[in-house]
């Protein structure tokens, strides 16, 4: 029988390795920029075209390579970083495995021009699909110039899974930001299709953060600095009042390397406990410096997941350091009792006791007289029920409190238990069923004559054929506005209200990329934006029905919602925009609604395609069945 096990060709093995190392154009930038940093470069240029799918170019002024090194650099597992296995546990460089260049050359067309400062001529190498096509001397600047074209040109199955140019560019910017934040001593430039996106000169860590994310970040940063025998921690965290639901910038770096670490993230969030609203996050930029032998960076191909030997003690140091920073730099009003003399606090005058003010009831007061019905609509179903029993109550004032208790059960959210309800107050089920047999809400329509009231400024309560329906007014309005926004996006006919004094909104470079691709959709929602250059946009008009909304925050939230989706499907991006605008424009909890407003809202809700849930799946209404009421009796 023939042998069945054989060695894979190098070209196939490199393509398999590329599946782990090279996932998208941003992976190429990460690997090659890290190599440039290891080469001692102080000025690095990154140029991309079509989100990196057509071309990625990285130019540096590092120490370059000789002709032999340039050729060997594309061989698998060729590296200058490690000599033996023990070196893996004492790494001080970014790259070390020698897989990146070999993997990139296996799935793209690569050209390298490199020269050492002391050499007169450099070397030019062209590789496509792991095959050397050309190698010759060339005149070029000192350093290295890598050009990667047509990623996955020989692996169509992989190329078709690349996202849109916009999405790939967003990933490029994300990986670029992670690198530049940890190397403020290096100057970086990023170009997209010939347009400059970032120009970052050498700076301090704080200034680099400001250069990347905008000047507004400066006012929110609080410095963190602590040194222990286990770890030296430095960096910045944001003030609690700057928290946001989406779009927070959260970065961990260890020994000059970006990492993801959910456990350490929980330490930071623990420090902000009870200081920020639930579900919101704050930005942080934290740099760990630990003994290289106490971490393992070789647990994941992308080297972003790092294992620590002393995670729990470092967690405690991190949480304590962040808490100390917040307490030290946040202006929390305090009362200092360690002062001479009496504190300047008003004190109550000397009195023996405070007289109690008795609450006197009005024995003749009847809450169901005409003067007490002003909050109900005329011909309301509730009033008919009240009228039915008012006569019997007028000559039995001692039982009025019992009837009031029953009313409290209905209007108080069914939270009270009523005992000893008189028999004559039992509501006849036949009368109830006759009035609300169809639930008051035929399919696709809403009966405005159904009695309803608002509870705690949050719920609309009304009868239903199966019991009592409670509608969350904010979520109901979100569903209505969402479908209106989607119709406007398709027709682009939503009216825009012009601003008498246009405001200027500053966006980050990554947001500008997203904004340009979605500008038509944003304008279709009623916004009128003009590009002023440098990431600044003039807001000349806003949707006509969002008065009182913070427009700048709304625009940032809309872009954040689209970025979090990370989808190239235009419909998904439109839905994210429409949902964010609906959530920010919907009526808020606590807003008092008139009967007519409740009727309009319910009519619009039950005319939508999916009235039961919001676009993001939250429940809009629920029904408390009659059996729940019967348990009280």
- Structure confidence by residue, pLDDT tens digits, 168-188: 898 899 999 999 999 999 999
- Structure confidence by residue, pLDDT tens digits, 583-624: 888 888 888 888 888 888 988 998 888 888 998 889 999 888
Q: Are 254 and 178 in contact (CB under 8 A)?
A: no
Q: Are 325 and 237 in contact (CB under 8 A)?
A: yes
- Structure confidence by residue, pLDDT tens digits, 544-568: 777 667 888 888 888 887 766 554 4
Q: Are 122 and 115 in contact (CB under 8 A)?
A: yes
- Structure confidence by residue, pLDDT tens digits, 398-420: 444 433 443 444 444 333 333 33
**Alpha-carbon gap, residue 311 to 300, rounded angstroms:** 18
- Bridge-based pairing of strands 232-238 and 221-227 is antiparallel
Instruction: Work out the average pLDDT over 436-444.
Output: 41
What residues form DSSP beta bridges with 114?
A: 123, 144
SS3 of 57, please? Answer: strand
Residue 429: CB partners within 8 Å, gap ≥ 6?
none
How many separate helices (H) and strands (E) can be counted in the chain? 18, 22
What is the structure's pLDDT at 137?
94
pLDDT over threshold 60, residue 154: yes
What is the structure's pLDDT at 246?
78
Q: Are 56 and 25 in contact (CB under 8 A)?
A: yes
Helix/strand/coil (H/E/C) assignment for every residue in 453-478: EEECCCEEEEEECCEEEEEEHHHHHH
Q: Which residue has the higher pLDDT, 520 or 390?
A: 520
Q: Are 53 and 172 in contact (CB under 8 A)?
A: no
Burial class (CB in 10 A: 0-12, 13-18, 19+), 151: buried
**Alpha-carbon gap, residue 232 to 218, rounded angstroms:** 23
Instruction: Work out the average pLDDT over 515-532.
Output: 85
- Banded model confidence at residue 138, pLDDT cuts 50, 70, 90: very high
**What angle is formed at CA 305 by the lines to CA 300 and CA 308, rounded to 5 degrees?**
115
- Structure confidence by residue, pLDDT tens digits, 74-96: 887 777 665 555 555 565 666 55
| Segment among 167-181, 274-288, 499-513 with least mean pLDDT | 499-513
Q: Which residue has the higher pLDDT, 437 or 54?
A: 54
- Banded model confidence at residue 363, pLDDT cuts 50, 70, 90: low
- Structure confidence by residue, pLDDT tens digits, 239-265: 998 888 877 899 999 988 899 889 999
What is the structure's pLDDT at 14?
64
pLDDT over threshold 90, residue 501: no
Residue written as token pair 């680099």: 208
Closest CA to 46 of 152, 221, 194, 223: 194
**CA 460 vs CA 180, 368, 450, 548, 599: distances in Å:** 52, 22, 12, 24, 10
Closest CA to 468 of 602, 631, 623, 598: 623
pLDDT over threshold 80, residue 304: no
Instruction: Provide the angle, in degrees to the nearest 10, between the axes of the packed helices 570-585 and 473-491.
Output: 140
Torsion of CA 550, 555, 557, 563, to 10 degrees: 180
Q: What whole-number percentage of the chain has pLDDT above 70?
A: 72
SS3 of 148, please? Answer: strand
What is the structure's pLDDT at 418?
35
pLDDT over threshold 50, residue 204: yes
pLDDT over threshold 50, residue 147: yes
**Alpha-carbon gap, residue 614 to 622, rounded angstroms:** 13
């Amino acid at each position: 029988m023939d042998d069945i096990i054989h060695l894979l060709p190098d070209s196939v093995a490199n393509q398999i390795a590329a599946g782990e190392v090279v996932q998208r154009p941003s992976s190429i930038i990460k690997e090659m920029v890290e190599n440039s940093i290891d080469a001692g470069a102080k000025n690095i240029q990154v140029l991309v075209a079509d989100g990196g799918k057509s071309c990625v170019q990285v130019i540096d002024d590092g120490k370059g390579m000789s002709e032999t090194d340039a050729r060997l650099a594309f061989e698998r597992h060729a590296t200058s970083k490690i000599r033996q296995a023990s070196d893996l546990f004492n790494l001080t460089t970014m790259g070390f495995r020698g897989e990146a260049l070999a993997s990139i050359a296996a799935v793209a067309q690569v050209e390298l021009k490199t020269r050492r400062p002391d050499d007169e001529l450099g070397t030019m190498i062209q590789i496509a699909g792991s095959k050397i096509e050309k190698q010759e001397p060339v005149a070029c600047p000192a350093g290295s110039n890598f050009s990667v074209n047509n990623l996955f040109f020989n692996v169509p199955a992989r190329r078709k899974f690349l996202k849109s140019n916009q999405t790939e560019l967003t990933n490029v910017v994300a990986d670029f930001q992670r690198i530049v934040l940890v190397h403020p001593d290096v100057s970086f430039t990023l170009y997209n299709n010939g347009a400059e996106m970032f120009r970052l000169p050498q700076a301090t860590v704080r200034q680099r953060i400001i250069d990347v994310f905008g000047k507004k970040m400066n006012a929110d940063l609080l410095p963190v600095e602590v040194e222990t025998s286990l770890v030296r921690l430095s960096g910045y965290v944001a003030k609690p009042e700057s928290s946001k639901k989406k779009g927070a910038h959260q970065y961990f770096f260890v020994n000059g390397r970006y990492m993801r670490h959910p456990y350490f993230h929980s330490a930071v969030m623990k420090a902000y406990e009870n200081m920020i609203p639930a579900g919101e996050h704050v930005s942080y930029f934290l740099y760990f410096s630990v003994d290289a032998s106490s971490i393992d960076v070789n647990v994941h191909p992308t080297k972003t997941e790092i294992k620590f030997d002393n995670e729990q003690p470092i967690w405690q140091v991190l949480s304590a350091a962040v808490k100390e920073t917040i307490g030290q730099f946040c202006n929390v009003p305090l009362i200092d009792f360690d002062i001479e003399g009496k504190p300047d606090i008003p004190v109550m005058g000397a009195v023996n006791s405070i007289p109690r003010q008795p609450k006197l009831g009005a024995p003749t007061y009847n809450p169901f007289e005409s003067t007490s019905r002003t909050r109900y609509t005329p011909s309301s179903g509730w009033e008919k029920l009240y009228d039915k029993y008012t006569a019997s109550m007028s000559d039995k004032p001692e039982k009025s409190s019992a009837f009031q208790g029953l009313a409290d059960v209905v209007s108080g959210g069914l939270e009270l238990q009523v005992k000893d309800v008189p028999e004559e107050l039992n509501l006849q089920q036949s009368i109830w069923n006759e009035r609300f047999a169809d639930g008051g809400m035929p399919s696709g329509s809403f009966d405005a004559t159904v009695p309803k009231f608002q509870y705690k400024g949050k719920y609309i309560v009304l009868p239903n054929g199966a019991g009592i329906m409670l509608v969350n007014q904010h979520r109901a309005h979100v569903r209505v506005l969402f479908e209106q926004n989607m119709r406007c996006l398709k027709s682009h006919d939503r009216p825009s209200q012009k601003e008498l004094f246009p405001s200027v909104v500053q966006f980050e470079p990554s947001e500008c990329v997203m904004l340009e691709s979605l500008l038509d959709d944003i304008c279709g929602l009623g916004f009128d934006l003009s590009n002023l250059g440098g990431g600044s946009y003039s807001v000349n008009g806003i949707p006509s029905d969002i008065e009182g909304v913070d427009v700048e925050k709304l625009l940032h939230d809309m872009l954040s919602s689209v970025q979090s989706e990370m989808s190239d499907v235009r419909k998904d991006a439109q839905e994210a925009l429409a949902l964010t605008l609906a959530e920010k424009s919907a009526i808020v909890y606590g807003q008092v609604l008139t009967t007519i407003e409740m009727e309009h809202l319910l009519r619009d809700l039950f005319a939508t395609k999916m009235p039961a849930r919001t676009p993001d799946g939250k429940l809009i209404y629920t029904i408390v069945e009659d059996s729940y009421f019967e348990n009280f009796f």
